[in-house]
Structure 1
Amino acid sequence: MKKLFTTLSNIWKIQELRERIVFTLVILLVYRFVSHVVLPGVDATALGDNQKSGILGLLDMFAGGSFSRVSILALGVMPYISASIVVQLLGIAVPSFQKMQKEGESGRNKLNQITRYLTVVITAVQAVGYVKTQVPKEAILIDPTLFFVLSTFVLSAGTLFVMWLGEKITDKGIGNGVSLIIMVGIIARLPMALYQEITSRVIVDGGLIALVLEIVALFAVVMFTILIVQGVRKVPVQYAKRIVGNRQFGGVRQYIPLKVNAAGVMPIIFAQALMFIPTTLTQFFPTLQNTWLIQFSDPTSLAYSLTFAFLIIAFTFFYTAITVNPVQMSDDMKKNGGFIPGLKPGLDTSSFIDDVISKITFPGSVFLAIIAILPSLAVKFGIKSEFAHFYGGTSLLILVGVVLDTLQQIESYLLMRHYDGLMKTGRVTGRTGVPAANTSGSSAVI
């Protein structure tokens, strides 16, 4: 405990770090305040119980509840995330985007600008769909045509405002702006979910022991998730000695950290999108309802869980294959005078890296599938669905990943000023698997 207070004191002593933390907290408070502002022309009291489920519930989670509140920030950062994913995939398939990725800082600036423009287009399309389908007609107080035009512009401006807040946190705060905004939206649900679970167990069911077991199980799941997020396979790399003037460069052994879960949370999101198809079909076409579709529409059923797990494993391999390029890693290593001991640079090196990635991706994908279906298992054991979301899935992975990245940024500030880090031994590592080399933050999404 003394170590903790000493570390917090050291954090407050560093003026730049203190200012960045305060700035980040202020921006997050502004975001949470604005997220409760309802669209103009909507009667908030007429919304009633507007809770969402399925894929809309997932969007509502990322938006911090703004989606169901018909807030001016209802679309949140999802259009920006969608645009970032599209640009990332274009960087794999389109040569001009590949060229920009290799141009360093100027190329990244061009890609960021393209992402912003694409965000505007996606936001406008989603805003039209949201106003048409998600705003109850009985809650509209003004002329429907005027409301449609006004709300489309307001929702688009709201998403751009959230995107701007995220970039400000990345530039002037402690980094990971968009990810922090998503995390705050998810964590905002935890107090109410925990209160409902405590009320259900202690007051209604009288299961104090069951509540304690739930908390212990949640702690174990979080620890397991941290292991998956931080797990890496270190590949040794030897760099040739170079003498420039009177100084020697290279000649030391370093490591390439290949992540066990290189795909992050994206396989779960893709798999969830496909698993929502049966539910959508039964809603729009009631005549299609049968035992088969009902099973695949129930997240607690065995058929749903097994199919969900299989899709996550498949998407993990797919997303890892398109985002991790062993050939490029081998070429970059060769250009910098590096080689893996016992292997020739070039084809042998890329084949070895590809083989290692294939071997570690399978257990990583299985563990990711286990984490994804844990909320359904929690519901099976009588835990309320609101609280069960924190037992795994996208919620827990995003929370763990963003917290680790944030701690990594703070750790780097402390070590730069020759203060002790946040841990007694070792270093805090984020989702990259290695200690941060800079303190400027990252704009990476989830």
Structure 2
Amino acid sequence: MNKFINTIKNIFAIEDLRTRILNTLLFIAIYRLGCYVVLPGIDPNRLKQGTNGVFGILDTLLGGAFSHASIFALGIMPYISASIVLQLLTIAVPYFQKLQKEGESGRKKINQYTRILTIPIVMAQSAGFLATINAEAIANPGTFFTISTMLIITAGTLFCMWLGEKITDKGIGNGISMIIMIGIVSRLPGALIGEAASKGINKSLIFLLEMVVLFLIVMAVIVLTQAVRRIPVQYAKQVGGTTQLDAQRQFIPLKVNAAGVMPIIFAQSLMFVPNIAAQAWNKNSELAASIATYFSPENWVYNAVFAFLIIVFTYFYTAISVNPNQIADDLKRSGGFVPGVKPGRDTSEFIDEILTRITLPGAVALALIAVFPTVALLLGVTRPLSLFYGGTSLIIMVGVVLDTLNQVESYLLMRHYDGMMKSSKLRGRPSQPIAIAS
């Protein structure tokens, strides 16, 4: 306990870090305040209470802004959609591939294209959002209300983008991820209170067991997020002028879950297509009823297909995010080599083989984590809390917290303070130098 208190004192003793933390808290407070500002022309007392399916997941990621019909109803999600589209374009379109290789200037152009693409995406999604609001909650429905509300939601999303960029520049952590994480965490206290109330005193032991299981799942997600396979790299002796550098042994860290949360997001988007298509075709038909039954999150068919898609997308996203050929070329140019493996093509094939092997357990673990909220729901956990037993919410939460702690620890170590752990480094962080191919 004393070490924890001393660490907090050290954090606030660093002026730059203290300022960044206070700025982050200020920007987060502004965002949370906006989540409760209801759109003009909508009666919040007549809004439908509760959201299920994709809307329930979206509402969790937005911290209730979606169900409250606030000016931040779509939050940062359209920007995330635009980022995914630009990421795919950097693979398929030569122009964007060229931009990606231009370094900082290319990255700025891609970010600018992402901001521009966000506007039409949020306009389209805001129209879909208005369709989910029950007519009784709208005071004066009509063309003017629709257009003005779409503009307000678009402005709200752009303001969330600005807040995220400000957190990145003047705060601590990645601003966009931080905004999503805060929205998720804001629902956790209410979910815990609701779960405790539903169990009551008679089932307090069951509630305690649920908390233990939740803790173990969080630990498993941390392990999956931090797990890496280290490939040893040897650098030959280098002579420059009158100095001679001895041979160095470093490592290339290949993450077991290099795809992160993206496979779950892609798979989740596809899993709602059958229901939407059936509803659009003929929502009163027997076919639509059958599709709604089989593609319900509680059905085993839904979860089996969902898990399969996650495994497929994990391999796909890993293949486009980690390039063994580029890693091998960078090693060859810098004079490094993997012991026992020839530089060049052999090294690329060696890295690709290892990546393929470690991706399978990572993909299976990710699929299990994604379907576990359904398992928790079937075992009696209330729906709001079951979303924290895995899936997108938990992975985002764990990833953002670990990234923020890493940044805080870096500030402490630069100022010669003890790190967040006794070993002066977070678990999962390498203790030896790392060879990172850029």
> Hey, what does 1:268 align to over in structure 2?
264
Kindly indicate whether the alpha-carbon contact (under 8 Å) linking 1:408 and 1:429 is maintained by their aligned counterparts in 2: no
Kindly indicate whether the alpha-carbon contact (under 8 Å) linking 2:181 and 2:397 is maintained by their aligned counterparts in 1: yes
Kindly indicate whether the alpha-carbon contact (under 8 Å) linking 2:43 and 2:138 is maintained by their aligned counterparts in 1: yes
Distance 1:416 1:296 in 2: 55
Change (3 A) 1:110 1:290: closer
Distance 1:387 1:283 in 2: 28
Change (3 A) 1:369 1:426: farther
Secondary structure class of the residue paired with 1:258: strand
Within 5 Å, which residues of 2 pair with 1:338-353? 338-353=336-351
> Hey, what does 1:240 align to over in structure 2?
236
> Hey, what does 1:212 align to over in structure 2?
208
> Hey, what does 1:222 align to over in structure 2?
218
> Hey, what does 1:326 align to over in structure 2?
324
Within 5 Å, which residues of 2 pair with 1:106-117? 106-117=105-116
Secondary structure class of the residue paired with 1:254: strand
> Hey, what does 2:397 align to over in structure 1?
399
> Hey, what does 1:87 align to over in structure 2?
86
Kindly indicate whether the alpha-carbon contact (under 8 Å) linking 1:229 and 1:261 is maintained by their aligned counterparts in 2: yes
Distance 1:352 1:380 in 2: 43
Aligned length: 431
- 1:411 aligns with one of 374, 397, 409: 409
- 1:385 aligns with one of 369, 376, 383: 383
Distance 1:115 1:434 in 2: 33
Kindly indicate whether the alpha-carbon contact (under 8 Å) linking 1:34 and 1:73 is maintained by their aligned counterparts in 2: yes
Kindly indicate whether the alpha-carbon contact (under 8 Å) linking 1:263 and 1:316 is maintained by their aligned counterparts in 2: yes
Kindly indicate whether the alpha-carbon contact (under 8 Å) linking 1:163 and 1:178 is maintained by their aligned counterparts in 2: yes
> Hey, what does 2:10 align to over in structure 1?
10
Amino acid at match of 1:81: I
Kindly indicate whether the alpha-carbon contact (under 8 Å) linking 1:275 and 1:296 is maintained by their aligned counterparts in 2: no
Change (3 A) 1:110 1:248: farther
Kindly indicate whether the alpha-carbon contact (under 8 Å) linking 2:295 and 2:301 is maintained by their aligned counterparts in 1: no
Secondary structure class of the residue paired with 1:286: coil
Amino acid at match of 1:293: I
> Hey, what does 1:442 align to over in structure 2?
none
> Hey, what does 1:63 align to over in structure 2?
62
> Hey, what does 1:183 align to over in structure 2?
181
Q: Shift of residue 228 of structure 1? A: 0.3
Secondary structure class of the residue paired with 1:233: strand
Secondary structure class of the residue paired with 2:99: helix
Change (3 A) 1:158 1:290: closer
Distance 2:375 2:64 in 1: 24
TM-score, normalization by structure 1:
0.92
Change (3 A) 1:93 1:235: same
Within 5 Å, which residues of 2 pair with 1:265-304? 265-284=261-280, 285-289=283-287, 293-304=291-302
Amino acid at match of 1:138: E
Higher mean C-alpha displacement, 336-345 vs 6-15: 336-345
> Hey, what does 1:74 align to over in structure 2?
73
Residues 244-282 of structure 1, C-alpha deviation per residue, up to 9 Å, x if partnerless? 233445721111110000111111112112222343345
Within 5 Å, which residues of 2 pair with 1:346-385? 346-385=344-383
Amino acid at match of 1:301: N
Change (3 A) 1:287 1:340: same
Higher mean C-alpha displacement, 52-61 vs 339-348: 52-61
Residues 274-304 of structure 1, C-alpha deviation per residue, up to 9 Å, x if partnerless? 2223433454423134785354223223222
- 2:333 aligns with one of 321, 329, 335: 335
Distance 1:55 1:74 in 2: 14
Change (3 A) 1:173 1:428: same
Kindly indicate whether the alpha-carbon contact (under 8 Å) linking 2:275 and 2:288 is maintained by their aligned counterparts in 1: no
Which sections of structure 2, spanning at least 5 residues, go unmatched?
434-438
Q: Shift of residue 407 of structure 1? A: 0.3
Change (3 A) 1:247 1:117: farther
TM-score, normalization by structure 2:
0.94
Amino acid at match of 2:269: A
> Hey, what does 1:252 align to over in structure 2?
248
Higher mean C-alpha displacement, 403-412 vs 84-93: 84-93
Higher mean C-alpha displacement, 31-40 vs 98-107: 98-107
Residues 202-232 of structure 1, C-alpha deviation per residue, up to 9 Å, x if partnerless? 24xx111111111111111111110000000
Q: Shift of residue 164 of structure 1? A: 0.3
Distance 1:260 1:362 in 2: 9
Kindly indicate whether the alpha-carbon contact (under 8 Å) linking 1:295 and 1:304 is maintained by their aligned counterparts in 2: no
Kindly indicate whether the alpha-carbon contact (under 8 Å) linking 2:406 and 2:426 is maintained by their aligned counterparts in 1: yes
Kindly indicate whether the alpha-carbon contact (under 8 Å) linking 2:233 and 2:336 is maintained by their aligned counterparts in 1: yes
Distance 2:36 2:105 in 1: 38
Kindly indicate whether the alpha-carbon contact (under 8 Å) linking 2:233 and 2:337 is maintained by their aligned counterparts in 1: yes
Change (3 A) 1:429 1:128: farther
Secondary structure class of the residue paired with 2:233: strand
Amino acid at match of 2:20: R
Distance 1:127 1:83 in 2: 15
Kindly indicate whether the alpha-carbon contact (under 8 Å) linking 2:341 and 2:347 is maintained by their aligned counterparts in 1: yes
Kindly indicate whether the alpha-carbon contact (under 8 Å) linking 1:124 and 1:156 is maintained by their aligned counterparts in 2: yes
